[in-house]
C-alpha cells in the first residue's frame, strides 16, 4: 500500500520527523520523495453539485473545455482533466456553470490494495495522526477497505 503526504511547512526537518514518527508508530515506513508517485496519477479534479447542470450538459461542456472524463452520481459531477489543462477547463466550466464546489490538483491511485481488518485499523490510525498535523495539507492512499471490514471497525 502507498500513501502520499503533501505538507506545507516552515521547518522541513520537524515535519519530516513528525511524518516519519507517524508512519513508524503505525506500522509503516517513510520513503524518499516521490518514491510511490508512480502508483498514482496527478490530475485536475473539479466538482459541481448535481443541480448545476444536467449530466449531458456537464459532459458536453467539459469535453469541449478539454476535460478527460466526467462522472455523475446523485451528489454531483466530478470532472477530471490533465494537470496542464486544469486552469483552462476550470475557467471554461466556471464561465458556463458558476463557481465549482471544489477545484484542485490531486493524486488518484492507479490501482487499489484491499486491506484486512488489522491493516485497515493501522491505516486509519495513521491517517488520523497525519490529518491532525498542522503541516500536513493532503493525504492520498491506494487502499480499499471492504464494507464488511469497515462495519466491524466502526462497531
Do 90 and 149 belong together in one domain?
no
| The three three-digit cell numbers of residue 144, written as one number | 480499499
Would 126 be classed as within a structural domain? yes
Would 79 be classed as within a structural domain? yes
Would 103 be classed as within a structural domain? yes
Model pLDDT, residue 148: 87
Domains held by the chain: number:
2
State which of 108, 128, 145 marks the end of a domain. 108
Do 13 and 50 belong together in one domain?
no
Helix intervals (H) in 1-155: 12-25, 55-65, 86-97, 117-132, 147-154
Do 89 and 60 belong together in one domain?
yes
State which of 73, 90, 108 marks the end of a domain. 108
**Helices and strands (H and E) in the chain: how many:** 5, 8
Would 28 be classed as within a structural domain? no
Asked whether 108 and 73 are in contact (CB, 8 A), the reply is no
Do 102 and 136 belong together in one domain?
no
The parent domain of residue 88 ranges over 41-108
Running along the chain, 155 residues long, what does each successive block of 10 average in pLDDT? 93 93 89 91 96 94 96 95 97 96 96 90 91 94 90 80
Would 27 be classed as within a structural domain? no
| The three three-digit cell numbers of residue 149, written as one number | 471490514
| The three three-digit cell numbers of residue 25, written as one number | 508508530
Sign of the torsion formed by the C-alpha atoms of 31, 33, 37 and 41: positive
Model pLDDT, residue 49: 96
Looking up residue 130, the CATH number of its domain turns out to be 3.30.70.980
Model pLDDT, residue 86: 97
Do 54 and 17 belong together in one domain?
no
Would 29 be classed as within a structural domain? no
Asked whether 149 and 120 are in contact (CB, 8 A), the reply is yes
Do 96 and 135 belong together in one domain?
no
Do 100 and 131 belong together in one domain?
no
What's the predicted TM-score (pTM) here? 0.83
Would 68 be classed as within a structural domain? yes
Would 30 be classed as within a structural domain? no
Amino acid at each position: 500500500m502507498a500513501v502520499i503526504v503533501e505538507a506545507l511547512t516552515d521547518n522541513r526537518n520537524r515535519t519530516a520527523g513528525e511524518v516519519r514518527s507517524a508512519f513508524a508508530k503505525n506500522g509503516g515506513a517513510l520513503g524518499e520523495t516521490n518514491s510511490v508517485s508512480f502508483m498514482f496519477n496527478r490530475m485536475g479534479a473539479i466538482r459541481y453539485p448535481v443541480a448545476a447542470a444536467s449530466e449531458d450538459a456537464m459532459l458536453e461542456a467539459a469535453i469541449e473545455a478539454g476535460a478527460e472524463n466526467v462522472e455523475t452520481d446523485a451528489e454531483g459531477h466530478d470532472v477530471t482533466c490533465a494537470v496542464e489543462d486544469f486552469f483552462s477547463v476550470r475557467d471554461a466550466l466556471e464561465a458556463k456553470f458558476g463557481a465549482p464546489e471544489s477545484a484542485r490538483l490531486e493524486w488518484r491511485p492507479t490501482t487499489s490494495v484491499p486491506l484486512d481488518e488489522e491493516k485497515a485499523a493501522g491505516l486509519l490510525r495513521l491517517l488520523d495522526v497525519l490529518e491532525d498535523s498542522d503541516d500536513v495539507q493532503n493525504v492520498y492512499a491506494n487502499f480499499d477497505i471492504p464494507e464488511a471490514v469497515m462495519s466491524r471497525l466502526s462497531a
